[in-house]
């Protein structure tokens, strides 16, 4: 019996999407679906939900929950990672509230920036523990990372964990449908190419019947910018730098030095930037789960339709050798020639029985590569901090972050990092 292991299975809705997809995939019938989570109650919820789903869908997959992580991993062909270390309370609250004292405001704080740096620092040790177990009990498994910060964690698992890892983000497959629907255009039959880094990959080409659609997209976007809408940052970046970015405007507002500025508070309103969006989202999800729990966990008639999540399509391609194209996060082995080789990049990948095969992109447009490098700088210094245990590299990562550097002095940046290290306490390893 082949095995798919899901780490962080207490993420019940996401587990339903990914594992429900697997239950609907003919090539994956008979697989064991192994669930692991450190929250026993949420683990049981997901187990009950998936067993109900199995019955409704008529799947022959076997659902099994484990209290021992290593046993959950033993013999796995595929591992899906969806953990969040520290959760909303206390760690997300810490990531937002302490920077506010210094005048540094954030929207999502899960990729780079101060929030992204500290989310990485508390997650990397846990991921490397996963890697040790995988090397021992399922060394040939493919590790699918869905956890943010995507680029750094995928990089660490490949570079230091010795685990075959691909990072998967929802933003690639919805990028073209989103902008076309937003602009009132039909995206059927559209061909597109996306490459860059996670959350800042670029829609490099968008054509239909050989015709470049960017001129029409930009014309409509200029008109759209005359009114308030929820994608103003990305439209502004496209109109200024030439290409549309995969990840949402609330994310991208904090990846650049241009939008969230104390000395220009009107920019937040002008570009409709939702400050503190992620904490609000967390609170709403916690409240919503109280009512959703019974509807999902104990619903004997629960059903599912296959989603756009890449996981089941990757497994299917590897099991059947029928190729499937994804946008994957992989190490830059000469794939994007004007980004650092140490970086994790997001590029088109072909999946078949040989695994995930990244494709060559070449040079990005120079302005796009330059913007990517500003974020890669912080990513690589965060990895340096995590792997050396040196506090000075935490400072370096923060000082090189575009948003932080645009707002804070060197002294305030260092003081903020020190306060966050102290506030996180045992959620972080010790730094010297």
- Catalytic residue numbers? 170
For residues 304 and 82, give the distance between their C-alpha atoms in angstroms, rounded to a whole number: 20
Is the CB of residue 319 less than 8 Å from the CB of residue 149?
A: no
**Which residues does 417 contact at the CB level (< 8 Å), separation at least 6?**
114, 391, 394, 395, 398
- CA separation for the pair 193, 176 (Å, rounded): 10
Report how far residue 48's alpha carbon sits from residue 293's, in angstroms, rounded to the nearest whole number.
11
To the nearest 10 degrees (0 to 180), the angle between helices 40-57 and 277-297 is 50
DSSP characters for 316-375? HHHHH---EEEEEEEE-SSSBTTS-TTSEEEEEEEEETTEEEE---BPPPHHHHHHHHHH
Phi/psi at 289 (5° precision): -65, -30
Instruction: Give me the phi and psi of 242, to 5 degrees please.
Output: 100, -15
Are 144 and 168 in contact by the 8 Å Cβ rule? The answer is yes
Residue 149, preceding bond cis, omega within 30 degrees?
yes
| 3-class DSSP assignment, residue 106 | coil
Q: Which two tokens stand for residue 30?
A: 């008979």
Classify residue 225 as left (phi > 0), alpha (psi -120 to 50) or beta: alpha
Nearest to 87 by CA among 137, 52, 122: 122
Beta-carbon neighbour count of residue 342 at 10 Å?
13
Radius of gyration of the chain (CA): 21
Continuous segment of H or E residues that includes residue 144: strand 142-145
Is residue 256 a contact partner of residue 69, using CB atoms and an 8 Å limit?
no
- Cα–Cα distance between 73 and 35 in angstroms, integer? 9
């Amino acid at each position: 019996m082949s095995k798919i292991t899901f780490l962080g299975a207490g993420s019940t809705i996401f587990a339903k999407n990914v594992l429900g997809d697997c239950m609907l995939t003919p090539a994956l019938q008979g697989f064991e679906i192994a669930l692991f989570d450190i929250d026993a109650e949420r683990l049981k919820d997901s187990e009950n939900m998936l067993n109900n789903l199995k019955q409704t869908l008529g799947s022959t997959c076997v659902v099994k929950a484990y209290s021992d992580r290593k046993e959950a991993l033993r013999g796995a062909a595929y591992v899906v990672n969806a953990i969040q270390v520290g959760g909303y309370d206390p760690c997300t609250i810490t990531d937002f509230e302490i920077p506010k004292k210094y005048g540094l405001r954030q929207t999502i704080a899960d990729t780079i920036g101060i929030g992204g740096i500290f989310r990485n620092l508390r997650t990397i040790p846990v991921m490397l523990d996963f890697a040790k177990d995988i090397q021992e009990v399922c060394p040939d498994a493919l590790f699918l990372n869905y956890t943010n910060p995507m680029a750094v964690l995928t990089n660490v698992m490949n570079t230091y964990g010795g685990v075959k890892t691909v990072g998967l983000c929802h933003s690639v497959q919805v990028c073209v449908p989103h902008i076309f629907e937003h602009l009132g255009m039909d995206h059927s039959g559209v061909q597109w190419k996306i490459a860059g880094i996670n959350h800042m990959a670029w829609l490099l080409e968008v054509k239909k019947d050989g015709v470049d659609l960017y001129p029409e997209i930009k014309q409509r976007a200029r008109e759209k910018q005359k009114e308030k809408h929820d994608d103003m940052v990305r439209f502004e970046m496209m109109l200024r730098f030439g290409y549309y970015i995969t990840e949402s405007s609330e994310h991208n507002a904090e990846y650049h030095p241009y939008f969230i500025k104390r000395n220009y508070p009107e920019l937040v309103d002008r570009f409709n930037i939702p400050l503190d969006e992620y904490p609000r989202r967390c609170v709403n999800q916690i409240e919503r789960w109280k009512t959703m729990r019974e509807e999902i966990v104990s619903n004997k008639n629960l059903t599912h339709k296959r989603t756009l999540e890449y996981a089941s399509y990757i497994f299917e391609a590897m099991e059947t050798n029928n190729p499937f194209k994804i946008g994957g996060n992989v190490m830059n082995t000469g794939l994007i020639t004007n980004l650092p080789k140490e970086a994790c990049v997001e590029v088109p990948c072909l999946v078949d029985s040989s695994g995930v095969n990244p494709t060559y992109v070449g040079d990005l447009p120079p302005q796009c590569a330059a913007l990517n490098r500003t974020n890669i700088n912080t990513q690589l210094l965060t990895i340096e901090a995590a792997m050396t245990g040196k506090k000075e590299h935490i400072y370096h990562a923060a000082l090189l972050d575009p948003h932080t550097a645009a707002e804070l002095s060197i002294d305030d940046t260092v003081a903020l990092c020190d306060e966050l290290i102290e506030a996180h306490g045992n959620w972080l390893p010790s730094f010297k």
